[in-house]
Amino acid sequence: MRENEKLMQILETIAPGTKFREGLENILRAKTGALIVVGDSENVLGIVDGGFNINSELTPARLYELAKMDGAMVLDDRAERILCANAQLIPDPSISSSETGTRHRTAERVAKQTGLLVISISQRRDIISIYKDTLKHVLEDIRVVLAKANQAVQTLEKYRSVLDQTLTNLSALEFEDLVTIADVVTVIQRTERVLKIQNEIERYISELGSEGRLIKMQLDELITNVREEGILLIKDYISDTEEEKLEAEEVLDSLVDWSSDEMLSISIVSKALGHGGSVNALDLSISPRGYRILRKIPRLPMPVIENLVEHFNSLDNIYNASPEELDDVDGIGEVRAKAIKEGLRRLRDQVLLDRHI
């Protein structure tokens, strides 16, 4: 996830719609090639030899014209000014490089040595390669990225539909108090898949820049409440011992970081929740605390939900409590107690009906 976040920040810097990207595209079309370092730290200045000090505002035209010279360009940290051009970069030759071309090999070594963003534009292959630390990424044509993003959105729609149905089935089992650990793990697995696809699409959006507005709107619509539901689901079912060690949000983030093979293993996910991974353990019944269902009741604040769960310990106890018993909980008066009873009854009727549609 950290690598993905680092790449997204880089892609936003050179996304379509920025002056920087327009200049890079001009260089690419002209087939002149370029080597550009973004950052003027002491590490960079120590490996720069010769060149011309310019210290001029970056514009697409200036970037393109200066790329006609053989040397490298050095920009400021925000890629807003061109500090020097036609400079020779002399990185440590002992730094390993998997590249073969002189320009790309220099770019990779400079990125590893300085930790800064370095961009290399191939004169012959018509590609833009970006390096930072040990990260390398080759920019694809915007049309290709857009096609991939649209395909990912279609995949997300299907996975979100399956997740919604799985959540409905789980809600019905929760009201009937028939949930097993395997049921919970299945929902967590599908939530994790949706969040992974979300991360993939967000990377495409960063790379698309101004061309990704519609994709962003579709994504925002499709992922509404997915992360929140996932966190509440983990709060409902994480074991008491694990709950003391980790917050639900930390558990969810760690699951999204897992590989696909790890997430396919029901036993491994069950262990992450603190319930063991044996076949017998997966078939054991487990009762939800009630966070996720109670959150669906309108105008019921999270502090009140926390008080309810702490007082009754399970959704079943909350559902079967009388209005008077609910009224005894801090933050709940007579009116709110009746609203909770009515809200839970409506939710139960709705999910039991939706399960069979």
CA 70, chain centre distance (Å): 39
Three-class SS state of 140: coil
Mean pLDDT for all residues in the chain: 89
- The CATH number of whichever domain residue 17 belongs to comes to 3.40.1700.10
| Residue at a domain's end among 117, 139, 161 | 139
237 and 329 in a single domain? The answer is no
| Residue at a domain's end among 255, 288, 321 | 288
19 and 88 in a single domain? The answer is yes
**95-99, 179-183, 245-249: segment of lowest average pLDDT:** 245-249
What's the CA gap between 125 and 136, in Å, rounded? 16
156 and 205 in a single domain? The answer is yes
| Percent of the chain whose pLDDT exceeds 70 | 94
What pLDDT is recorded for position 8?
Answer: 86
109 and 180 in a single domain? The answer is no
| Residue of 283, 281, 304 whose CA lies nearest to 294 | 304
Q: At what angle do helices 181-208 and 2-13 cross, to 10 degrees?
A: 20
| Residue 126 contacts residue 31 (beta carbons within 8 Å) | yes
What's the CA gap between 150 and 159, in Å, rounded? 14
What pLDDT is recorded for position 289?
Answer: 94
Q: DSSP labels for 53-89?
A: EEEEE--HHHHHHHTTSSSEEEE-TTS-EEEEEEEEE
| Percent of the chain whose pLDDT exceeds 90 | 62
pLDDT band at 318 (very low <50, low <70, confident <90, very high): very high
- The CATH number of whichever domain residue 195 belongs to comes to 1.20.1260.110
Classify the C-alpha dihedral 125-130-136-140 as positive or negative.
negative
Domain that holds residue 135: 2-139
166 and 114 in a single domain? The answer is no
Work out how many domains the chain is built from and give that number.
3
184 and 261 in a single domain? The answer is yes
What residues form DSSP beta bridges with 88? 49
304 and 254 in a single domain? The answer is no
| Residue 122 contacts residue 103 (beta carbons within 8 Å) | yes
276 and 149 in a single domain? The answer is yes
178 and 300 in a single domain? The answer is no
Structure-block tokens of residue 79: 């890629």
Buried (b) or exposed (e) across 191-213, using 16+ Cβ within 10 A? bbbbbbbbebbbbbbbbbbebbe
What's the CA gap between 100 and 84, in Å, rounded? 26
- The CATH number of whichever domain residue 320 belongs to comes to 1.10.150.20
What's the CA gap between 135 and 9, in Å, rounded? 13
pTM score of the predicted model: 0.81
pLDDT band at 316 (very low <50, low <70, confident <90, very high): very high
250 and 325 in a single domain? The answer is no
Three-class SS state of 239: coil
pLDDT band at 263 (very low <50, low <70, confident <90, very high): low
| Residue 233 contacts residue 293 (beta carbons within 8 Å) | no
100 and 24 in a single domain? The answer is yes
Decide: residue 88, CB within 10 A, 0-12 exposed, 13-18 middle, 19+ buried. middle
What's the CA gap between 46 and 44, in Å, rounded? 5
Q: What is the pLDDT of residues 38-92, one digit of tens each?
A: 988 888 888 999 889 999 999 999 999 999 988 999 999 999 999 999 999 999 9
What pLDDT is recorded for position 251?
Answer: 83
What's the CA gap between 111 and 132, in Å, rounded? 5
| Residue at a domain's end among 139, 159, 186 | 139
What's the CA gap between 42 and 143, in Å, rounded? 38
| Residue of 232, 162, 171 whose CA lies nearest to 194 | 162
Q: What is the pLDDT of residues 114-135, one digit of tens each?
A: 999 999 998 887 889 999 988 9
264 and 158 in a single domain? The answer is yes
| Residue 231 contacts residue 146 (beta carbons within 8 Å) | no
Q: For 9, left (φ over 0), alpha (ψ -120 to 50), or beta? A: alpha
